[in-house]
Amino acid sequence: MKAIVLSIMCFVALNISVFATNYSVTISGTSYVPNLTVVNTGDQITIGASTMHPLVQVSKATWNAGNSATPLSGGWGTQTSDYTFTAGTPDTIYFLCSVHFALGMKGRIVIQGPNQVAELTQLPVVLFHNPATNSFLFTFNKPMKGNLTIRMVNMNGHIISGYNGNYDQTQGNTFEFSYPADLSSGIYILDLIAGNERFSRKVLIAGESRR
């Protein structure tokens, strides 16, 4: 029985490591970029910190008030070099620079579980190619500029494809997302996050009709 339990634990740990994603929150002037990052349990996050920009985890109330940098009890303490951690149970982590918080140098990490999506404002997007045979095409219904994150998640909650980078709608109001050519046909969750907004939709991959 113990051997079976150990095997299951090893299998779960292996799956977390295989499908985990690494995220970086960097410092630009007196801002965190991006200032909102949505991750899954098991993902690894590195947040920039230095002696000039000490990193402190705070409570939601302290973060919203924006008038102090009181550390969260049981949190990270004060970090003066880049801080890396692995996302645990679903939660929202609030952090700020203890020197420049009054200038708005704050950020959030939203940790979601396999069957949970973060509660963000609906992003106005039109999705084309569903069912899809090679890629999905997003058309934005409002000006967009900044960090764009796309995740393709299977029905077991594993991230099997994605994109993370900058997008500027002055270059056009559409964005094409291509997924791996060997992806099996079936139903997936397509998740798009931009700023404080999210678009999430079930999609169908029609593998038999792909080139």
DSSP 65-123: H-S--PPPTTS--EESS-EEEE--SSEEEEEEETTTGGGT-EEEEEEE-TT-----EEP
Paired sense of beta strands 36-40 and 106-112, if any = parallel
Task: Report the amino acid identity of residue 34.
Answer: P
Percent of the chain with pLDDT over 70: 80
* Cβ(72)–Cβ(57) below 8 Å: yes
Average pLDDT, the chain: 78
| Mean pLDDT within 167-180 | 77
In this prediction, residue 195 has a pLDDT band, given cuts at 50, 70 and 90, of confident
Q: Which residues pair with residue 74 across a beta bridge?
A: none
**Looking at residue 129, what is its pLDDT?**
72
Domains in the chain with CATH codes: 21-112 (2.60.40.420), 121-209 (2.60.40.1930)
**Looking at residue 116, what is its pLDDT?**
57
**Looking at residue 119, what is its pLDDT?**
57
Task: Using the predicted structure, report yes or no on whether residue 92 has a pLDDT greater than 60.
Answer: yes
In this prediction, residue 2 has a pLDDT band, given cuts at 50, 70 and 90, of very low
96-126, pLDDT tens digit by residue? Answer: 999 999 999 999 888 876 555 555 666 667 7
In what helix (H) or strand (E) does residue 63 lie, and over which residues does it extend? helix 60-65
Task: Using the predicted structure, report yes or no on whether residue 211 has a pLDDT greater than 70.
Answer: no
**Looking at residue 114, what is its pLDDT?**
59
In this prediction, residue 152 has a pLDDT band, given cuts at 50, 70 and 90, of confident
